[in-house]
């Protein structure tokens, strides 16, 4: 038998040729034999059973029958013609009907020859018919690879129009398996196959396309999913290891005066165990001689800033400078004031650099950075400008990193001859499964407990019809001296509509809460930055009791006295956004509340989102639900979605398998970090091939 190598161009497969090859490349990215082999069905039709005509029932289901065509006729109808064939077996007869391609079909039908027909049964005027059935001569049917469960492959309109039907794809794959099945080599070590009870690779490939039974299909899926996830995890772990070997980092050897003085004498509260654990993980990184690249995840209010400050003090003790970059001016300013307050009793020079910084101020900052006099720079994108040069940048901290592009982070790297240590912080909890895949080459730390004394925010769902009760509750809270946020959704397609919603809301609130007894701030996207800041600052200073805003406050001011968050039309928000908004309250010692307002009509997804918010404050649980609802591509935003085009695995549904695959990849690399042992030959060969073809996720994070 001719064993064709799997990298042969697809045009050479019998039945393809140059024109079909071009279509397969354009429409399905199938360039080689291997691409077609890895083009998996997305569902199956069970063809293990053959029905007799007298067993048929009016269920509109797909059936398979063996019989003969005993009569053919063409019937005129209002528009064009239809072709009708009488198809019989020993128990009765049905009509096979065609409305298209009549001439060609009529010529190809053979009378009194045994056929296998397959299609959907229709019941009309007391008899069964089957429109546009699949037909195959019984003798051909017996010769082909037995298809008990017929694969249905993904397709496109163009393919269907050009005659590349599901049947054609199926025939091409049958032909391919005839030519190549002996060339499908094992890709995993024997001990994997034994421990995990996996079927061999060639058996898995045959059964994913043409399963012998449901049981074999399940085994094939398990085997191929595990393999796909294993090689992704293996590559991420190798990438992480190589980066640590290649990219040397500064060694922060000593724990000096700044760190110890602050830690023992000026830390305003005890660290939680989670914070202590994370500080320890980071200290190990910055002392290892390799460049740190760590993702720090922690819910809103979990105390990431104090961890960032402690690590910064460690850098300063070792004569390095630190840069903290935040996505918005409000957030950068908030970090600046917060850190300045923490450091008032220790001698640290800190500056803030944003788009609003005056020219004289900028010049001074630039000079002090280059001389090394300025130790800690906090800012926005402004810190990336070429003019901003450091004497000795040792640590770069990036807050809410998903708002910065890769190119922007690369600019930070280049601020020094040796790249600084990188700490990336996010309050958007990323489910563990997604983090393992998207950030598999970053080390991950999680602060998974809130500081003591923080009361959990109480979340309730109220319909618009309960609005008067909500107003009453607001009055009670304001009477206690508290403040209230009211947030309206931002519908990007229509700024006019947003503005109208917000202003309608403002008018009804102003009627219910009249001046001078109540003061109201309004913040929306159409305002100038200076006006926004003015209103935000009035609210933060307690001069206004109610802040009406669009989602611009999602990441922003810290107002410990604000204890009520009301989210209007909350069914229009995504889960992570609802969670972020809720995190604006609950920052003081008082009990805080989040009220989710909706209309009466809610979709199932909206109900799930609202219910999840009411039931839990845990950002990671919320992120898991969000991932299930939205899928990985949408969760990470479009720039990341291409990363997740898996052939067969699904990182949400197969999250347990993903964890197992990572565990096996770690085990292999601990035992044999260069993949040189004879038992890992299969892995080494497969890994090289995948890497060469850029089949793996080479450019993640």
Question: Of 145, 164, 149, 160, nearest to 10 (Cα)?
Answer: 164
Position 210 pLDDT exceeds 80 = yes
220 within domain boundaries:
no
First to last CA, the chain: 45
- Count how many Cα atoms sit within 13 Å of the Cα of residue 63 in the half-sphere of its side chain: 23
pLDDT in tens, 96-112: 999 988 988 999 999 99
Contact 464, 598 (CB under 8 A): yes
Average pLDDT over residues 452-470: 89
Which of 599, 616, 633 marks a domain boundary?
Answer: 616
698 within domain boundaries:
no
Average pLDDT over residues 83-102: 93
Average pLDDT over residues 551-572: 79
pLDDT-derived band at 2 (thresholds 50, 70, 90) equals very low
Q: Distance between CA atoms of 40 and 59, rounded to whole angstroms?
A: 29
CA dihedral over 390, 297, 576, 580, signed as positive or negative = negative
Q: Do 314 and 403 fall into the same domain?
A: yes
Q: Do 121 and 167 fall into the same domain?
A: no
- Dihedrals φ, ψ of 253, to 5°? -75, -45
Kindly write down the DSSP assignment for every residue of 487-499, as one continuous string: E----TT-HHHHH
pLDDT score of 1: 41
Place of tokens 């060469």: 692
pLDDT-derived band at 147 (thresholds 50, 70, 90) equals low
Place of tokens 């030959």: 681
Q: Distance between CA atoms of 229 and 236, rounded to whole angstroms?
A: 11
Place of tokens 């007869």: 93
pTM over 0.85: no
From the CB of residue 197, how many other CB atoms can be counted at a distance below 10 Å? Answer: 9
371 within domain boundaries:
yes
Question: Of 584, 631, 593, 599, nearest to 614 (Cα)?
Answer: 593
Inter-CA distances, 444 with 281, 285, 668, Å? 9, 12, 21
Q: Do 521 and 600 fall into the same domain?
A: yes
Q: Do 535 and 597 fall into the same domain?
A: yes
pLDDT in tens, 686-697: 998 887 765 444
Higher pLDDT, 167 or 439: 167
Query: In this structure, what token pair is assigned to residue 691?
Result: 């890497």
Contact 156, 27 (CB under 8 A): yes
Coil/strand/helix, residue 463: strand
What does DSSP assign to residue 514? -
668 within domain boundaries:
no
Q: Do 132 and 163 fall into the same domain?
A: no
Q: Do 391 and 321 fall into the same domain?
A: yes
Percent of the chain with pLDDT over 70: 89
- Count how many Cα atoms sit within 13 Å of the Cα of residue 401 in the half-sphere of its side chain: 24
pLDDT in tens, 171-181: 999 999 988 87
Q: Do 180 and 277 fall into the same domain?
A: no
Instruction: Find the helix packing angle between 619-635 and 575-582, rounded to 10°.
Output: 140
Contact 632, 649 (CB under 8 A): no
Percent of the chain with pLDDT over 90: 45
158 within domain boundaries:
yes
CA dihedral over 687, 692, 695, 696, signed as positive or negative = positive
pLDDT in tens, 230-250: 998 898 888 888 877 887 888
Q: Do 475 and 395 fall into the same domain?
A: no
Place of tokens 């604006």: 584
Question: Of 390, 389, 408, nearest to 400 (Cα)?
Answer: 408
Domain ranges, residue 21: 1-47+147-184
Chain CA centroid to CA 322, Å: 31
Average pLDDT over residues 666-693: 89
Average pLDDT over residues 586-595: 87
pLDDT in tens, 544-557: 999 998 766 644 56
Higher pLDDT, 145 or 223: 223
Kindly write down the DSSP assignment for every residue of 192-232, as one continuous string: HHHHTTPPPHHHHHHHHHS-SSHHHHHHHHHHHHHHHHHHH
Chain CA centroid to CA 417, Å: 34
Query: In this structure, what token pair is assigned to residue 410?
Result: 């690369």
Position 333 pLDDT exceeds 70 = yes
Q: Do 421 and 556 fall into the same domain?
A: no
Q: Do 464 and 410 fall into the same domain?
A: no
- CATH number of the domain bearing residue 521: 3.40.50.300
659 within domain boundaries:
no
For the ranges 156-170, 398-412, 415-429, 520-534, the lowest mean pLDDT is seen at 398-412
If one counts the domains in the chain, the total is 4
- CATH number of the domain bearing residue 106: 2.40.50.140
296 within domain boundaries:
no
pLDDT score of 553: 61
For the ranges 147-151, 226-230, 373-377, the lowest mean pLDDT is seen at 147-151
Q: Do 370 and 496 fall into the same domain?
A: no
pLDDT-derived band at 80 (thresholds 50, 70, 90) equals confident
For the ranges 8-17, 293-302, 336-345, 378-387, the lowest mean pLDDT is seen at 293-302
pLDDT score of 700: 38
> What is the average pLDDT value for the chain, to the nearest integer?
85
Q: Distance between CA atoms of 571 and 597, rounded to whole angstroms?
A: 8
3-state helix/strand/coil string of 74-116? EEECCCCEEEEEEEEECCEEEEEEECCCHHHHHHHCCCCCEEE
Q: Do 20 and 169 fall into the same domain?
A: yes
pLDDT in tens, 609-655: 999 999 998 887 887 788 777 765 544 443 333 345 678 887 767 87
Average pLDDT over residues 376-386: 90
- Count how many Cα atoms sit within 13 Å of the Cα of residue 336 in the half-sphere of its side chain: 18
pLDDT in tens, 400-458: 755 555 566 567 667 777 789 989 888 777 766 666 666 666 788 888 877 777 788 99
Average pLDDT over residues 270-288: 92
Sheet containing strand 127-131, strands side by side = 122-124, 127-131, 92-98, 81-89, 62-76, 114-120, 134-137
Contact 478, 509 (CB under 8 A): no
From the CB of residue 313, how many other CB atoms can be counted at a distance below 10 Å? Answer: 26
- Dihedrals φ, ψ of 519, to 5°? -115, 140
13 within domain boundaries:
yes
């Amino acid at each position: 038998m001719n064993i064709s190598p799997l990298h042969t161009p697809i045009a050479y497969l019998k039945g393809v040729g140059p024109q079909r090859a071009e279509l397969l490349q354009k429409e399905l990215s199938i360039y080689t034999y291997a691409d077609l082999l890895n083009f998996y069905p997305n569902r199956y039709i069970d063809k293990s059973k053959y029905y007799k005509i007298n067993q048929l029932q009016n269920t509109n289901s797909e059936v398979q029958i063996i019989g003969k065509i005993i009569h053919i006729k063409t019937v005129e109808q209002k528009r064009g013609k239809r072709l009708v064939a009488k198809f019989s077996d020993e128990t009765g007869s049905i009509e096979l009907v065609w409305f298209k391609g009549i001439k060609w079909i009529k010529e190809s039908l053979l009378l009194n020859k045994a056929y296998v027909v397959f299609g959907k049964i229709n019941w009309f005027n007391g008899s069964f018919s089957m429109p546009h059935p699949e037909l195959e001569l019984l003798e051909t049917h017996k010769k082909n690879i037995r298809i008990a469960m017929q694969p249905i492959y993904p397709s496109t309109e163009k393919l269907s129009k050009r005659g590349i039907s599901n049947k054609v794809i199926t025939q091409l794959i049958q032909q391919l398996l005839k030519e190549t099945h002996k060339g499908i080599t094992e890709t995993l070590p024997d001990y994997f196959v034994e421990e995990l009870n996996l079927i061999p690779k060639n058996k898995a490939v045959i059964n994913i396309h043409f399963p012998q039974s449901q049981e074999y299909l399940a085994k094939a899926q398990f085997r191929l999913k595990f393999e796909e996830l294993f090689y992704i995890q293996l590559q991420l772990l190798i990438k992480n290891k190589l980066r640590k070997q290649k990219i040397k980092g500064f060694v922060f050897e000593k724990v000096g005066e700044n760190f110890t003085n602050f830690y023992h004498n000026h830390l305003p509260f005890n660290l939680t165990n989670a914070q202590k654990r994370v500080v320890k993980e980071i200290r190990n990184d910055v002392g290892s001689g390799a460049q740190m690249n760590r993702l720090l995840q922690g819910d809103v209010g979990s105390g990431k800033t104090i961890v960032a400050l402690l690590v910064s003090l460690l850098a300063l003790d070792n004569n390095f400078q630190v840069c903290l970059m935040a996505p918005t001016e409000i957030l950068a300013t908030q970090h600046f004031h917060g850190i300045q307050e923490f450091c008032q009793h220790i001698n640290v020079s800190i500056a803030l650099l944003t788009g609003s910084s005056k020219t004289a101020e900028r010049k001074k900052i630039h000079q002090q950075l280059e001389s090394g006099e300025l130790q800690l720079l906090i800012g926005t994108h402004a810190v990336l400008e070429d003019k901003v040069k450091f004497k000795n940048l040792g640590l770069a901290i990036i807050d809410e990193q998903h708002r910065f592009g890769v190119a922007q982070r690369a600019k930070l790297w280049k601020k020094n001859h040796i790249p600084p240590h990188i700490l990336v912080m996010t309050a958007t909890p990323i489910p563990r499964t997604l983090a393992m895949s998207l950030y598999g080459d970053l080390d991950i730390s999680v602060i998974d407990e809130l500081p003591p004394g923080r009361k959990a925010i109480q979340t309730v769902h109220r319909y618009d019809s309960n609005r008067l009760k909500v107003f009453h509750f607001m009055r009670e809270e304001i009477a206690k001296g508290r403040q209230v946020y009211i947030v309206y959704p931002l519908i990007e397609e229509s700024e006019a509509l947003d503005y109208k919603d917000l202003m309608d809301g403002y008018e009804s609130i102003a009627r219910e809460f009249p001046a001078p007894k109540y003061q109201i701030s309004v913040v929306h996207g159409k305002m100038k930055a200076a006006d926004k800041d003015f209103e935000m600052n009035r609210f933060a200073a307690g001069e206004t009791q109610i802040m009406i805003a669009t989602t611009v406050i999602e990441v922003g001011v810290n107002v410990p006295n604000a204890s009520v968050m009301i989210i209007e039309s909350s069914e229009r928000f995504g889960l992570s956004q609802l969670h972020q908004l809720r995190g604006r309250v609950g920052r003081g010692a008082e009990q805080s509340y989040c009220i989710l307002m909706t209309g009466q009509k809610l979709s199932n997804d909206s109900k799930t989102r609202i219910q999840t918010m009411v039931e839990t404050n845990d950002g990671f649980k919320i992120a898991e639900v969000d991932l299930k609802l939205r899928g990985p591509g949408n969760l990470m935003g479009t720039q990341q979605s291409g990363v997740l085009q898996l052939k067969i695995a699904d990182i949400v549904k197969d999250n347990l398998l993903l964890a197992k695959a990572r565990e096996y990849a770690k085990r292999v690399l601990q035992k044999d970090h260069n993949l040189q042992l004879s038992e890992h030959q299969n892995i080494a060969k497969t890994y090289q091939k995948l890497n060469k073809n850029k089949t793996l996720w080479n450019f993640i994070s």
